[in-house]
Amino acid sequence: MNKQDLRIVYLGTPDFAVESLKRLVEGGYHVVGVVTMPDKPFGRHQNHLKPSPVKEYALSVGLPVLQPAKLKDEGFLAELRALKADLQVVVAFRMLPEVVWAMPRYGTFNLHAALLPQYRGAAPINWAIINGETETGITTFFLTKEIDTGDIIDQVRVPISPSDDFGTVHDRLMHLGGDLVIQTVDKLLDGTLQSRPQSDYITSQPLKPAPKIYRETCRIDWQQPAVNIHNLVRGLSPVPAAWTMMSTDKGDEMVKIYRTSVSADKACGPAGAVLSDGKTMLTVATGDGSLNIEELQVAGKKRMPIADFLRGFKVSDTLQMH
């Protein structure tokens, strides 16, 4: 089959989904429409509407855009049917009802930022790093009724280095994901596409979930081991960012922490206690050692390296993280 004969509808919303759509469009594949989330209110008074990154790109290349509030709405379903898609490609969208994913004759495949069946859920990149994994990957699979459980088409394994954080792994998987989407579509076109049930990929290793990240997920518990806190910071940096409360002689302030390193020294006191030279070093005691804070942001101020922070901050005996 020629790539121009395969009518594709693309479903996605954030920056992560733009790369795969861009690869399809620039590769000459026949994308007949795009489905994305409704525009979101933003601004101080929430009186402006911001389109999704996928919508912005789709409009820039002249693609029709559908933005349903409800995916079972009959008006939306009629518009979707009118596009006469042979295949739907989903990247970072939302859970689809069967009436949507079963519509095309070749079905609907999804790009997931993990090595399924591990890390099913909304935040696979974050949780892989938070859990201290040294490897992750991307998967294309067919959608079925249960979220992230469909037959696997293809996977690419990707190492996670000790210096990686959510931002670096996100960008790496985003670009490799574009490659894998094209590879998957090409296999469909040339008749070589095959898939296998996820049960074939299950080993003795327990399956780890990847639930949505909430504000309390991001709060640092200084009673935890230093390496666990370090991985939490990595897995949430730069967004949404791990946070803690900092007690000073002026009261409590919220602090976001973006970069840390595990100290070779023993704990400098009870969990949350702070040790600093007032110049370039700020170390916090944890449940089993100490953690060096290397980059942070105090509420209402810009993100900065610890040396810049300490130049404008007087360390006192009352300083503590909690």
pLDDT band at 45 (very low <50, low <70, confident <90, very high): low
Q: How far apart are CA 179 and CA 137, in angstroms?
A: 13
Please give the model's pTM, rounded to 2 decimal places. Answer: 0.95
DSSP output for 69-107 = SSTT-HHHHHHHHHT--SEEEEES--PPPHHHHT-STT-
Q: Provide the CB-side half-sphere exposure for 260 (13 A, CA).
A: 31
Q: Is the dihedral of CA 188, 75, 144, 35 positive or negative?
A: positive
- Cα(234)–Cα(315) distance, integer angstroms: 25
- CB count within 10 Å of CB 151 equals 17
CA dihedral 96, 236, 139, 60 (to 10 degrees): 60
Residue 154 has pLDDT above 90, yes or no: yes
Per-residue pLDDT of 51-68, as tens digits, reads 999 999 999 999 999 999
Residue 229 near residue 148 (C-beta atoms within 8 A): no
Q: Could you read off the pLDDT of 213-232 as tens digits, one per residue?
A: 999 999 999 999 999 999 99
Output the pLDDT for position 19: 98
* More confident call, 267 vs 251: 251
pLDDT given for residue 171 in this prediction:
98
